[in-house]
Amino acid sequence: MAESVEVLIQASILPNYAHPGDAGADLHAAEALVLAPGTRALVGTGVSIALPDGFAAFVVPRSGLAVKHGITIVNAPGTVDAGYRGEIKVALLNTDLTEPFTIAVGDRIAQLLVMPVARATFIAVDRLPGSQRGEGGFGSTGVQASTTDSAPVPGRTAPQTGDMQ
């Protein structure tokens, strides 16, 4: 399903998909800055959008920035509602505790996913129906695989932080 989204650009770069089939369109920095180790900043993209009713956009981190530089988004995913018309800004966080990260105008800093959304009608009840999961929440299923076919691959180890260049 292809939807058209009106985009008001105050910067020079439209959100764009790097490859056919990509879910996220790249958002680019409209300003230059240096993120000191362990700090965060709100970075403008120069992009405002008009989404159709029934849609929302979600601003998510770029995996390469996260893995290679420790750059993520504080409120990931950031939600852009259909009625919002202001500039999309990205709350970036430098999780690296020793290295600053330099952002130049035009750098790809996040991705934008445009998706249909359903609106729920919330109904107050005295009791919820049961489920197999029940009230099991954070960490309730543990970290170990529950089946033997999820065993680690022989000879393969997880990369160390220094290996992710």
Peptide bond into 77 cis (omega under 30): yes
Q: Check whether 153 is labelled as a binding-site residue.
A: no
Distance CA 11, CA 46 (A): 5
21: alpha, beta or left? (left if phi > 0; alpha if psi -120 to 50) = left
Q: Is 77 exposed, middle or buried (0-12, 13-18, 19+ CB in 10 A)?
A: middle
Q: Is 64 annotated as a binding residue?
A: yes
CA dist., res. 66 & res. 92, Å (int): 10
Query: Annotated binding residue at 155?
Result: no
Please tell me whether 63 is known to bind a ligand: yes
Q: Is 140 annotated as a binding residue?
A: no
Residue 62 is assigned to a ligand binding site: yes
- For the annotated binding site, the residues are 62-64, 75, 79-81
Question: Which residues carry a binding-site annotation for substrate?
Answer: 62-64, 75, 79-81
